[in-house]
Amino acid sequence: MLAAKDRLELCVTYIAKGITLGMKPSSVEFLDRQRGRADEVISVEGHIKLETGASFYVNKEEFGIGRSVNNDLFVDSPKISRSHVEIIACPDQSYELCDLSSANGTSLSGRRLEKNETCKLSNTGEIQLAGVFHIKFSDFGATDVAPETKTIYGITLSHPDRRIWMQGAVVSEEMRLSNSEYQFLKLLMDHYPEPVAHRDLAFTIWG
């Protein structure tokens, strides 16, 4: 088991309709035992059913996600590969995300990974699998640097070039946001989940 300060925090942010999500309780420590978790056992391996909002720390050095119940977290969807991705704890206390040659793809904060690509996880972001399952990660031990992208509910905003992604699909070059559109979307994302005051919206749009 990993030391508490070294563990990665995950939170389920999106599950497509009709998909069942199951977790091996021994692989994680739940932050809120009442939110997003049901006591219903849904596999012979002991997975318990999860809902959107479930938050937990990863207790393992290698944490598998996929359609097979051999994974720590299984996603019962034909779009998810049997072994889709793996999150790996590195010796330097950072974490890596590895695509396991998934058929329908893995995106990290809006950027689609190549098959078998491994990426270092930053301090926070979102992992999106095949457009049907999203999970937010937070690594409080990572170096805190200003992120180049921000993702909320599968919409990723790229700050350097004002482009957006929708669940990993890059919007065409012709639809790159104008400066006012960028400032508007950035304002909404920066305040999420809190509402934005009318005067702040008006100032952002009209100055």
Taking only the tens place, the pLDDT of each residue in 167-182 is 655 555 446 777 778 7
Summarize the confidence of residues 75-90 as an average pLDDT. Answer: 96
| pLDDT tier at 68, thresholds 50, 70, 90 | very high
The share of the chain scoring above pLDDT 70, in percent, equals 82
For residue 173, the model assigns a pLDDT of: 46
Q: Where are the domains of the chain?
A: 4-138, 149-206
Indicate if the alpha-carbon torsion angle 175, 176, 180, 183 is positive or negative.
positive
E strand spans, 51-152: 55-58, 62-66, 73-76, 85-89, 95-99, 106-108, 111-112, 118-120, 124-129, 133-138, 149-152
For residue 147, the model assigns a pLDDT of: 58
Mapping DSSP to helix (H, G, I), strand (E, B) and coil, where does residue 170 land? strand
> pTM (2 decimals)?
0.69
| pLDDT tier at 79, thresholds 50, 70, 90 | very high
Summarize the confidence of residues 143-151 as an average pLDDT. Answer: 60
For residue 38, the model assigns a pLDDT of: 62
- What's the mean pLDDT when you consider all of the chain? 82
149-206: CATH, from 1.10.10.10, 1.10.260.40, 3.30.160.250, 3.40.50.300? 1.10.10.10
For residue 130, the model assigns a pLDDT of: 93
- Write the single-letter amino acid at 108: L
Q: Mind listing the pLDDT tens digit for each residue in 85-144?
A: 999 998 888 899 999 999 999 988 878 888 999 998 887 888 999 989 999 888 766 544
Summarize the confidence of residues 183-207 as an average pLDDT. Answer: 79
4-138: CATH, from 2.60.200.20, 1.10.10.60, 3.20.20.110, 3.40.630.30? 2.60.200.20
73-77, 95-99, 201-205, range with the lowest pLDDT: 201-205
pLDDT of 14 above 80: yes
Task: Give the length of the chain.
Answer: 207
pLDDT of 48 above 70: yes
CA distance 177 to 139: 30
